[in-house]
A and B are shown apart, each in its own frame.
Chain A
Amino acid sequence: MKYTARIISRYTCDTSGVCSALYELGGMTVMHDPGGYGSIYATHDEPRWYDSESLIFVSGLTETQAILGDDTKLVQDTLQAARRVQPKFISLTGSPIPAVVGTDFEALAFEIENELGIPTFGFDTDGMHTYVAGVSKALAMVAQRLCQPGQSKLAGVVNILGVTPLDFSINGSAEALTQVLSDRGLTVQANWAMTSSLVQLEAAGAASANLVVTAGGLKAAQILQDRFGTPYVLGTPYGPNLTDTIVTALNLAATTGENQSVINVPQDTGTIIIGESLTALSLATAIFRATGRGATIICPTESETEILAYGCLTIRDEDDIESYLHHADTIIADPMYQPICPPNAKFVPLPHEAFSGRIYHSTMPNLVTELPEFLAAQNLD
């Protein structure tokens, strides 16, 4: 791949994905980086930054430390900060230079945990993967290390996995995910990881089924299935019709113990949706149910084969994406893709925080509760 982009934006990276996923859980996340990643995250990736007090800091890695492989300052500064702010857990994340010099984050985490007695985790993020990989690693860590065993299964109780502002912004979508399931008789044990506390996530094993709403939640679902035998359903509840089907699938999964999916998108090159794999597939499914039109999904972010198999093309280069758009009559994507779209195609802007950051905050739709209005406004119904 050429990895060139003349004009389109870039998805935020795995390090930001870790930070975003863990933001509301009371931990302290340290980015081992010279400084830029902290500013990028706080400015473009984290709409909760201004008013909340989440403990996300940067190590201030220097050339000398990197060349000498000297992790002493990182460890000592992390210990000092943790003693001051008393986090519930600590996460160490990487960036390109620690990756190049081979920083062993798991070993450093072990050292810090031994010193403080606070659960500490090392993530080998390197800034060269998309945020989906980071969200996935972070939520998988929660599922593996922080969820408590010995939970009794409760009928009608579910977790929602893979929720961050990078995919759902802060426009009410996260709250709506819980609400639409509650409205249909389910109880949400925990929303992973917006609007729920660490205590709620720790008791996730009580759920009888899990709902995976983005690719970032799948690994956690698989771990929860291994640890607690909880089956999962793939699908994002966009609109009442698809949400009804998801609730049915959750109940079926809980009853049978078998994983389920609500994704069903006939391939159609006339309509192209660009975005994160599972949310894009879910939107395509909802549109298909509403209109009978299929779609082609272009997924420039990482995902799991289990999701991609439902019909995603994994294309990342601007040139390659552009070539797929030539024959489309309708393109649904973040507005920063519009410059490479053919002018005669109908462009439906769907801002995506992980791609265009805060630029289109005011127009990001809440597709969980406002899908019919969105489709009508764009003449897609």
Chain B
Amino acid sequence: MKRLDRSELIFKIFAYVLVTVFVLTTIYPFIYSVSMAISSDSAVTFGRVVLWPVEIQLNAVTDLIVGEWAKSFWIAYTNTLFYTFYGTIFSMTLSIFAAYALSRRNLVFKRQIGFFIVFTMWFSAGLIPTYINYREMMVNNRWGIIYGFGVQAFNILLLRNYFNGISREIEEAAIVDGANEFQVLSNIYLPMSKSALATITLFYALNRWNGYFWNMRLVQGTEHPLQVVLRGIITNASNTDDIFNYPYSEFSLAYAAIVLSIIPIVVIYPYLQRYFARGVNVGGVKE
């Protein structure tokens, strides 16, 4: 162990304390949500839950999973899974193809195509024209939501830069052996850029999973994804003047819905975080 002088030691203690406080603040709302979801009616109503659950009940959670609210909740959940799954595949396919094509050195009209894509980062038509366009392009059903959203110029550039950094020698060897462009892409480029692919997949999937406004605006009722239904449940719960005849507080229901909606993220996230911590590097992006 290196010797630390006094200022270094003080700073180190300071760092440990502050980081711990920050992390506890970060994690507190999650623990609190779980506790509120499974605490008894009176504990929630009279504000006796501070950190851990008080007088545990599981009715709010079970009513969402198998009981009273299960039907609309699961429809919404399945919708979100549908949008996330197909949407991410759609976005990734387009982004990978575009990034690969743009990484070809002798692409005809390379500059023009690059500009065509980059321009969308500088200027967008705005919310109203975008909405009018979605109406005209029939983005008002499940498949519309899939094809109408999801390719971001920034992600294409990120991936293109990554592809540019891959050595051309292996590729040339493969071409000599008779590989075509699709084979070069799938056998050389994709396996060599796993962390960039994982990062971009994560962000596309998150956008789909977390998206609210346009889904709420463009599709109706049973096609609504989880976030829209979740918002509805919470809005109802906050309107506590209504009579609520269940063996738990309406707040427990709201917190239970929140917890159930973030479980997939919390479960998958630890496996993916090592990729994006390496893959994201905004400072290094350059045309």
Chains A and B come from one and the same complex: no
Give the B-binding residues of A (Cβ under 8 A).
Answer: none
Give the A-binding residues of B (Cβ under 8 A).
Answer: none
